[in-house]
Amino acid sequence: GLLKNPLVAVRSSATAEDLPDASFAGQQRTFLNIAGETNLIEAVRECWASLFEARAIFYRQEKNFDDFKVGLAIPVQKMIQSKASGIVFTCDPVTGEKNKIIVDAVYGLGELIVQGEVIPDHFVVDKENFKIVKKIISDQKIMLIKKNGKTKKYSVPSKWQKKQKISDKEVIKIAKIAEKLHEHYFFPQDCEFAVDNKRRVFFVQTRPVTTLKDFSKDKSTSEEVKEIKKAEDEISDKKIILEGAAASPGIGWGKVVLIKSKKEINKVKQGDVLVTSMTTPDFVPAMKKVSAIVTDKGGLTSHAAIVSRELGVPCVVGTEIATKILKNGAVITVDGGKGKIYLGGLKIKSKIIEPNEISHGVNANLMLNTATKLYVNLADYSIAKDVAKKNIDGIGLLRAEFMMAEIGTHPKKIINDHKKNDFIDKLAEKMAIFCSEFKDRPVVYRATDFKSNEYRSLKGGDLYEPIEANPMLGFRGAYRYIVNEDVFSMELSAIKKVRNKMGFKNLWLMIPFVRTPEELMQVKKIITANGLTRSASFKLWMMAEIPSNVILLEEFLKVDIDGVSIGSNDLTMLIMGTDRDNSEVATIFDERNPAVLWALEKIIKTCHKNNITCSICGQAPSQYPELVEKLVDYGITSISVNPDAIERTREIIYAAEAKLVNKK
């Protein structure tokens, strides 16, 4: 053909891979440097067949997956002849820190990292400024490359062995690409990359990180923490006999059992310490039994590290000499959080995992991670600190009205009294509290949506506001920003101060009650004129809460925005023709009405088609758990709920996503 049998990589993408409590690391096979139609077909067949290798069947049984409900797609990619390659995480896979990007790199093809045969260079990049804050350069003696038509291991020339595998500039470039993938999928990513002879960077795989940790538990009340403290006190007097990379936190002790190959895994007994050169997927049955794992090779992205974190087994990798100096039957203690191995055992139980670092399980709702983002609706800055400690992905609705009411004076009076700067400072100060507590998580600020009757209640308000028969449908939202541009500009100045002077780049803006695409365009021009431009760190959303938003959503999206958040309260009112503030018709007001559900589905699917974020921030998800399942089924990107609904909503989302996977 035209491509003259190019070299390709044949990879696996299974429907059951990378679920919140199962990574399926290494369970399906990958074939590199495949050339020719016959070889390609054979590689595809072998890739499919790997679904039914013994290790894969065992793993699925352990995770309660039906063997015949796991589908497997086979991506065929151009083969990159890697000068260097590696893995990048958009959060720290060991500690769960979301403000760090981890980059591991080696010479040649990247299979040796996953297999753990080499220890990669290790870089930590700060997401705030994309600066390298930590760098560990390894000594690499072998590499995997394609030569004379065959993929083989070769010795790295001695002059290159201790050198940095990729440049600092390349590390930062890779980190930035990975963060874009994180933003695209709305979830921390585990990516594989390759750098070719021309120093071009290619990303060949991305998947969600499956071993995120939760830091929201109060350590001081945990029995497990007391156990950890006892263990730490006891080992402080012990002799350190070996060190490596801290790959999976916790402390475990027991008898050493040296394993040279998968044929010997039957030697492993409950509570032993598994010591090996490097684990493979065939080792998983043994890994489940042990109190700790120690390997010669591998980094934080090796099979041993990933699976140990998933299983909750303390693990130290990359010791280089564990199999040489540790003897069968010797009793040792392994501190997987510090990367240290001590001589002798402990008086306490054989394995302790720090409670704030256990991989989540189905019943631990605080630790569940979902593809659908879970945001919170907030207004009161006094509770921001406590809410930010919960398992929450950001603020999906930061209401301006509470802050405006605290300021207490009508914005027009503030302008006439020449106190604009005071207003901007006060509003910015309150916004900054939320941004500071939520750190790198987004804070979506909805511009003030007071109705005229609410504005009249502010000091001086009766001088500036009309008396309207139905303020709910009156002078509010985007149209007010256009008419009273000077007032809206003060809000924008406060946002700009928080972002540019205070340095909180996680503050975004959402425009409420936009009646027409033309209104949205005018508001967008005002925002730009005030020095706020859409970027990777500044997103512009609009509320979808009017029937025209549903009917003309394609036209609204042409204005170029980053997200849509459904205001189910007003949308239900306007579709059903019921005043949500009128107790006489309160029983008719129901977000589960088929007409409202039709509108929700249409908004979500239109956004999905146009690759636009879609969220919901009305009362409905907090009030009706069954609606959450429908929203997930429709494909919503995120759901924002009241603080008291966070835990139960995360559980419902998790269960709904699991159902979708099983359906497939």
Upper half-sphere CA count for residue 621 (Cβ side, 13 Å): 35
> What's the rounded Cα separation, in Å, for the pair 463 and 413?
9
With tokens 């009294």, the residue in question is 417
Two structure tokens written together for 283: 């080792």
For residue 261, the tally of other CB atoms under 10 A from its CB is 11
SS3 state at 123: strand
> What's the rounded Cα separation, in Å, for the pair 456 and 467?
9
For residue 505, the tally of other CB atoms under 10 A from its CB is 18
Pick from 120, 47, 65, 21: nearest CA to 664: 65
91 is catalytic: no
CA–CA distance from 557 to each of 130, 610, 611 (Å)? 31, 8, 10
> What's the rounded Cα separation, in Å, for the pair 143 and 155?
6
With tokens 């969600």, the residue in question is 208
Cβ proximity of 89 and 125 under 8 Å:
no
- The catalytic residue among 122, 182, 303, 410 is 303
Where residue 347 falls (left for φ over 0; alpha for ψ -120 to 50; beta otherwise) is: alpha
Cβ proximity of 111 and 289 under 8 Å:
no
Q: How open is the CA angle 221-224-227, to the nearest 5 degrees?
A: 115
- The catalytic residue among 91, 191, 614, 617 is 617
303 is catalytic: yes
Helical (H) or strand (E) element with 483: helix 477-483
Active site residues: 303, 617
